[in-house]
Structure 1
Amino acid sequence: MSAARAARRFFILLLHPEARRAGAPRQPQDNAAMAKKKLVYIWSLRNAAADKAGQQIDYKGGKRYMKSVLESLVEALNDTALGDAYSLERVIYDDDANSPRDREKLAEYGFAYEPGKRWFYPPELRVQGRLVNDLLLAMASEYRREPLDSPARPAGKRAFEARLRETLDGLGADLVVLDGLLVILDELVRPGAPYCRRIVNIHPGITRADSPYERRGAYATLDALYGARGHKVVDWQTMESVAVEPVRMTGASFHYVDNGVDSGEVIHDVLNTEIDERDTILELRWNNFNRSLFPALHEGLAMMAGIDVSVG
């Protein structure tokens, strides 16, 4: 067995103990000396809305459920060894109910769950015994209302990060997971800052700069789809593109957050998503979530926790 296959088997057995051979159940870990790390999850609801999270989407002539990254994480905390290592303390979102742009992007969902209306995951979803909806905390990045060249914008961003730090400190956060947060953090993640290398991101693309599959930024999935069709977009405003050799694979990266765009040190990545040039953007997103992104998140968290298992 190759080293790569052995590593994948390790994480399959770690995260899905039912995959062990019959008669060799996972032995419970001795957690007496290991306190759970406090996990805080931060996302932008407007990004999940663009993914159609929590909805049935059109898929190759049928329908498939678009599971959100948060729902996948909750399932892993409930059903795998990750729940022995982490406790989910809060789910923070930065969307601004007073922003016309945010209201437009969240028109299908709203800013909080309302019975009978669409939401990003089943409203009864629980994590480690608690309702996920009870963990939600709105922390609007209000500075985004200001024009890009407004002198009030940098000060507003600093104030937002200060509020975020105060909240994380109050929660005693050990690790912060970003998922589709449409804000670039600055003060919190600078070298020497209190949350430097304590904030990680799960990204729907390979972020290693030296990889032929590298897809950073907000358009990573669309970039991969264009790449499979033999095009490279050089201007996302005009959609100007140039011809390139087709690349028909993509994946996901779990990486530390720095001051750049998906440029932090990679902790773990998974390249396991084949691209059909006939895919729609949502079909490719569904495939990449299920084949690469969810595994990258779960396996990356397991690596950070240093969880060990003995293969029987």
Structure 2
Amino acid sequence: MRNIAIFASGAGSNFDAIVQAVERGDLEANISLLICDRVGAPVIEKAQRHDIDTVVFTPKVYENKAAYEAALVEDCRSRNIDYIVLAGYMRLLGPTLLKPYQNRIVNIHPSLLPAFPGKDAIGQALDKKVKVTGVTVHFVDDGMDTGPIIDQEAIRIKEDDTEEDVKQKIQAVEHRLYPEVIQSLLVKEESK
């Protein structure tokens, strides 16, 4: 069974979805580690409730981004991490982390990339008055939501939808799609 590390910065709704998929047997993986970059983030308590090892790395205490990422890589390697899953991790990754885990770091984004990359994708979609947005799962590269797309799913925005309505539609898709995509990647990896 593959070991995955989840990197998160916030509330952890996608973290919850991944954990639940593992518990149901829909995702055949061992969640070996949660790495969080924010002291006190709600996702930390969620990981502790599931007895998932948690490490909080505060980037400010490191000399630079490369030193911070080297510490992340060291921790992941010490736990034999096969894949890194970003679930609301709000940092761009650099070469120190990307190189050893090339094509083994995935992210989920609340838009149909390449539309609306970066922060507040739902707000961006509403500002542009688009009728369709969605969810993208992609490999991570050194850009802002620019890595190769693995899968996408669209949702319709109705005229009277509020931002909260759209957020709920997006999260419903994310919480189903992300574990499915991770599982398909792990199955492909096993068949190599």
**TM superposition score normalised by structure 1:** 0.55
> How far apart are residue 259 of structure 1 and its match?
0.4
Match for residue 105 of structure 2 among 184, 194, 199: 199
1:224-265 CA distance string (max 9 Å, x none): 12222xxxxxxxxxxxxxxxxxx2111111111100000001
Q: Aligned partners of 1:263, 1:253: CA distance in 2, in Å?
A: 11
Q: 1:267 to 1:189 in 2, by over 3 A?
A: farther
Q: Aligned partners of 1:289, 1:188: CA distance in 2, in Å?
A: 31
Partner of 1:261: 144
Q: Aligned partners of 1:167, 1:182: CA distance in 2, in Å?
A: 19
> Is the contact between residue 8 and residue 43 of structure 2 (CA under 8 Å) also seen in structure 1?
no
Q: Aligned partners of 1:279, 1:258: CA distance in 2, in Å?
A: 33
Higher relative contact order, chain-length normalized (CA < 8 Å, sep 6+): 2
- The total of aligned residue pairs comes to 188
Give the 3-state SS of the residue equivalent to 1:287 in structure 2: helix
> How far apart are residue 81 of structure 1 and its match?
2.7
> How far apart are residue 277 of structure 1 and its match?
3.8
Match for residue 117 of structure 2 among 216, 220, 225: 216
**TM superposition score normalised by structure 2:** 0.87
> Is the contact between residue 17 and residue 176 of structure 2 (CA under 8 Å) also seen in structure 1?
no
Give the 3-state SS of the residue equivalent to 2:91 in structure 1: coil
Q: Larger C-alpha radius of gyration, 1 or 2?
A: 1
1:76-135 CA distance string (max 9 Å, x none): 1111331xx21100111001x5xxxxxxxxxxxxx16xxxxxx459x6x68xxx843552
More helix per residue: 1 or 2? 2
Match for residue 73 of structure 2 among 151, 165, 179: 165
Alignment of 1:134-283 (within 5 A): 134-142=52-60, 155-190=63-98, 193-207=99-113, 209=114, 214-228=115-129, 247-271=130-154, 273-283=155-165
1:169-220 CA distance string (max 9 Å, x none): 1111000001221111112355xx211111111111112x4xxxx2211121
Give runs of ≥4 in structure 1 deviating > 4 Å: none
Q: Aligned partners of 1:275, 1:172: CA distance in 2, in Å?
A: 42
Match for residue 43 of structure 1 among 8, 13, 34: 8
Over the matched positions of the two proteins, sequence identity in percent amounts to 26
Q: CA RMSD in A?
A: 2.4
